[in-house]
């Protein structure tokens, strides 16, 4: 079942989502929500989807960065972004326990800010503790693109959109990003934008 992805302006996207109990995580309702969110994310397509994006204010996100999503990127772009496939998993009640001070800047989009993108600085490496879809404790050290995805989705669970963190002058429609900035280094984009 595909869920409706709400767009910027919906109040649920600006609320701090509530934590889920172990019993709630294991409930048929939450398990179905995880499945529907997975299908919705894949259908979009996207690499992450947080429950608030489908109108449910709970601390739950799903993540998956499939190899086929990376097919249009050059090997140099994949290396620069430190982007590798990430298997599907749910992230519940996440907490970033450490974040590298080194930041990486790249264009970032969002299924709830459809049709736009902007440069966002994110920690290069983070450590995150969360519960998975079986209510098991997980600790992940993530770097590069996976760290970016985690930070983006955790922001959603705290009522934050990437537009709150973006380099405002880089805000662009996706067609204009493709036309003007697709193969331009971020340093050069920033230089040209002033």
Provide the pLDDT for residue 183: 85
Give 61's Cβ-side CA count (13 Å radius). 24
The token pair at 54 is 């489908």
Provide the pLDDT for residue 167: 97
Provide the pLDDT for residue 74: 85
Provide the pLDDT for residue 72: 83
Cis, bond preceding 193 (omega within 30 deg of 0) = no
Whole-number Å distance between alpha carbons of 26 and 28: 7
Active-site hit among 64, 108, 133, 153? 153
Provide the pLDDT for residue 58: 98
3-class DSSP state for residue 168?
Answer: helix
Residue 108, beta-bridge partner list: 118
- Which whole-number Å values give the CA distances from 161 to 45, 72, 187, in the listed order? 18, 26, 23
Nearest one of 12, 9, 94, 2 to 53, comparing CA atoms: 12
Dihedrals phi, psi of 183, to nearest 5 degrees: -110, 25
Whole-number Å distance between alpha carbons of 42 and 162: 20
The domains located in the chain, with CATH, are 11-193 (3.90.45.10)
The number of helices, as runs of H, and strands, as runs of E, in the chain is 6, 8
Whole-number Å distance between alpha carbons of 57 and 112: 14
Say whether 153 is catalytic: yes
- Could you list the pLDDT tens digit for every one of the 194 residues in the chain? 899 999 999 999 999 999 999 999 999 999 999 999 999 999 999 999 999 999 999 999 999 999 999 888 888 888 888 999 999 999 999 999 999 998 999 999 999 999 999 999 999 999 999 999 999 999 999 999 999 999 999 999 999 999 999 999 999 999 999 999 988 999 999 999 98
Instruction: Please answer whether residues 132 and 63 qualify as being in contact, where contact means their C-beta atoms are separated by less than 8 angstroms.
Output: no
- Which whole-number Å values give the CA distances from 45 to 86, 96, 108, in the listed order? 15, 26, 14
The string of DSSP codes covering 33-64 is HHHHHHHHHHHTT-SEEEGGGGT--BSEEEEE
């Amino acid at each position: 079942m595909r869920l409706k992805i709400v767009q910027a302006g919906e109040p649920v996207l600006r609320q701090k989502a509530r934590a889920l109990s172990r019993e709630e995580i294991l409930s048929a309702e939450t398990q179905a929500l995880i499945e529907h969110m997975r299908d919705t994310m894949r259908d979009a397509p996207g690499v992450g989807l947080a429950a608030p994006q489908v109108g449910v204010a709970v601390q739950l996100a799903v993540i998956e960065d499939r190899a086929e999503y990376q097919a249009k990127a050059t090997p140099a772009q994949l290396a620069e972004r430190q982007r590798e496939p990430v298997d599907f998993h749910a992230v519940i009640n996440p907490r970033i326990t450490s974040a590298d001070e080194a930041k990486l800047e790249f264009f970032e989009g969002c299924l709830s800010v459809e049709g736009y993108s902007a440069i966002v600085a994110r920690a290069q490496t983070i450590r995150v503790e969360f519960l998975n879809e079986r209510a098991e404790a997980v600790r992940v050290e993530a770097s590069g693109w996976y760290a970016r995805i985690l930070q983006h989705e955790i922001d959603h669970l705290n009522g934050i959109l990437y537009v709150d963190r973006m380099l405002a002058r880089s805000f662009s429609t996706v067609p204009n990003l493709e036309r003007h900035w697709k193969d331009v280094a971020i340093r050069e984009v920033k230089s040209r934008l002033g």
